[in-house]
Amino acid sequence: MIYFIFCIHNHQPAGNFEHVIERAYQRSYLPCLRIISKYPWFKVSIHTSGFLLDWLCMNHPEYIELLSSMKERGQVEIMGGGYYEPILSVIPPGDGYDQIKTFSARLKKVFGVDVKGAWLAERVWEPHLPYLLSKAGIRYVVVDDYHFIKAGLKREELGGYYVTEDMAGAIRVFPGSERLRYLIPFEPRERFIEHLRWLEQNLEKGNAVVYADDGEKFGIWPGTYRWVYQEGWLEGFIKGIEKERHWLRPVTFCEYMEREPPIGRIYLPTTSYMEMGEWSLPSSASFEYAGVVEGLEREGRDEIRRFVQGGIWRNFFAKYPEANWMHKRMLMVSRYVSEAMDDLKEYRLYASASRYLYMAQCNDAYWHGVFGGLYLPHLRAEIYRNLLRAENIVESMRSDRKRPLFKRVDMDGDLSDEVLIGTERMNLFFKPSEGGSLVEMDLKPLEINLLNTLARWQEGYHLKLKETESQPATEKAVSIHNIVRTAKVGELCFDTHRRVSLMEHFIRNDESFDAFYTSRYTELGDFFNGTYHTELTDSSLILSRKGTVDGLQVRLTKDIHPTGASTFVVSYRIENLSERDMDCRMGVEFNIILPGCNGRDCVLRAIPGGGDLPVDSHGEVEDVKGIVLVDRTVPVSFTVESSAPFLLWRFPVETVSFSESDLERIYQGSCFLFLFTVSLERGGVMERSLTVAIDREGG
């Protein structure tokens, strides 16, 4: 007898577009559940993430009613986890515990169940998790068999569950089959039966096999709606199992645990599923790792491949500074909420702040692979929106909130202090260690970060792209991991630095716009990525650096001081400390993304007298005194005015990345370079100032 555990994980991230969720419901969640419900003997374990569950309760109660009826007749086991699908190992333990307990309480209210199992977001496992999970009332989790292989076991030893623990906090851990992830639902049903027949003969320990993967594979992945429903794969799959019930029995996790004891004890290493190990590596290593794995697979060298492992999920914080900054901002807000617990005397306020914080811990926007939403601006915007909502609740209790705040803190854990300038209406975060740059600029009342940008980072898959015309979309159902993407995406441009603001570049007078746009220009100075000395006064932040420009000794000072609740001035002083004359251009770089991204209601106006231009337009404009960016839908405006005319270079920052179906070019913000001519004799000084305002359009 072989027991078969069929587990579906349905998830949508907080902040996803309504039409995207609705399409997933109509093409995957609902038709899949309806077909399964026709066969009460076919047991299934279902995890629905908290944000999606709330959406379903509000928008499609008929789905909840159907799922409840299936649970009542014993066909469905409801699984829990972190409410908003966090990576539990990278959020504060108290937040993780609360997310699990709150979600379990919600599932108890909706379905009347006492949750026993938890879905781990992206199956990210770290050895300390059993203590947290067991403390939160979780009896079991499911990961990939890959986790067990990395612990030294063979697939033939993975016919059930193992016990693991941390600090004597013990849980059961099931291995989900990687082979079944690639078989279901992409291969003919007969292949599934053949594989389980093989397992029946070859399992050395246990008598179960687990399929655990995304519900979106049943209708949303390329070609799957037609294959799974219109061509009848799913119904045929279930009927095929029905014919084999004399030796193949579908059960839920809890049913199996009641019938069978654990196989043994295991301690799993820090890992996720196999593909994540490739995605989390730096680009060149990712490319090389993929080549090694593919080569071993071609040669059938499984005895070597089972010991090959890529990076770990936390690597994304090293690979993408934008993800690291969001994560550390989340930790900062978590501390704020925790420390304010006693001040937020009304439980309603504390519960609201906590809820927004937990929504900001949703994993999708913090990483990138074939899945992962870091490259999607609207998901990053939702992270900042919820962080600012939580922060605004906490700050509403401060009696001195109208007074400007100047604060040093190593916020991102790099052993160098950042500086926060906070007013009643805005946050400005500066990194003196990275060019004295402005890395976050929040308008608190509208809960937006106008520096929610992403650089054009090189990915491992860029190294093997073929510049050919896109192939016609196939109707064949195929795993996302096996799709061959060959698309004409134009020239690929990559950045050497994060796309933030108030970075100073020194370039030749004859440097071209195209060279700067494609990152092929020559940087004469060491200021844009150098470390600045920091001085804080009662009213300003003074950043200064003594560096070089084309071999000349130069001191650059920028004095940042708020002039209102949502305005500030940056005063520049450039001193030529050398014995030779200085003749070049200084460019002040801004990278801005409006809430509406590059939609038709987002426009650029040059000062003076400029008409509306698309915010993602590119090119040069001479004799400019300032710019205004407007998003009419919010509405919000961003204005910079200069004390002297400048040459404006502007272009959209666009990334080329993999999605679930093909390559995508995605707008990540607009770059604006304010170019001033610097012509200084030895000992000469030049001063310029920029006035910046962020506010609702029209004040």
Helix 189-202 with 233-242: angle, nearest 10 deg: 40
- Cβ contacts of 403 within 8 Å, gap of 6 or more: none
62 annotated active-site: no
Q: What is the residue type of 263?
A: I
Q: Show the tokens assigned to 461.
A: 């898959």
| Nearest Cα to Cα of residue 172 among 225, 219, 208 | 208
- Cβ contacts of 21 within 8 Å, gap of 6 or more: 12, 52, 55
Beta-bridge partners for 211:
6
The one catalytic residue in 165, 187, 214, 583 is 214
495 annotated active-site: no
Task: List C-alpha distances in Å: 142 to 29, 129, 132, 252, 257.
Answer: 21, 13, 15, 12, 13
- Cβ contacts of 30 within 8 Å, gap of 6 or more: 60, 63
Composition of the chain by helix, strand, coil, percent to 5: 35, 30, 35
The one catalytic residue in 95, 122, 442, 559 is 122
Q: How far apart are CA 42 and CA 251, in angstroms?
A: 8
Q: How far apart are CA 516 and CA 678, in angstroms?
A: 18
Q: 113: burial class by Cβ within 10 Å (0-12, 13-18, 19+)? A: middle
Q: 3-class DSSP state for residue 552?
A: strand
Phi-psi sector, 408: left (phi>0), alpha (psi -120 to 50), beta:
beta
Is 223:475 a contact under the CB 8 Å cutoff?
yes
Q: Show the tokens assigned to 365.
A: 């926007």
Neighbours of 621 (CB within 10 A): 16
Burial 416-442 (b: 16+ CB within 10 A, else e): ebbbbbbbbbbbbbbbbbbbbbbbbbb
Q: How far apart are CA 161 and CA 153, in angstroms?
A: 13
Q: Give catalytic residues, as residue numbers.
A: 122, 214
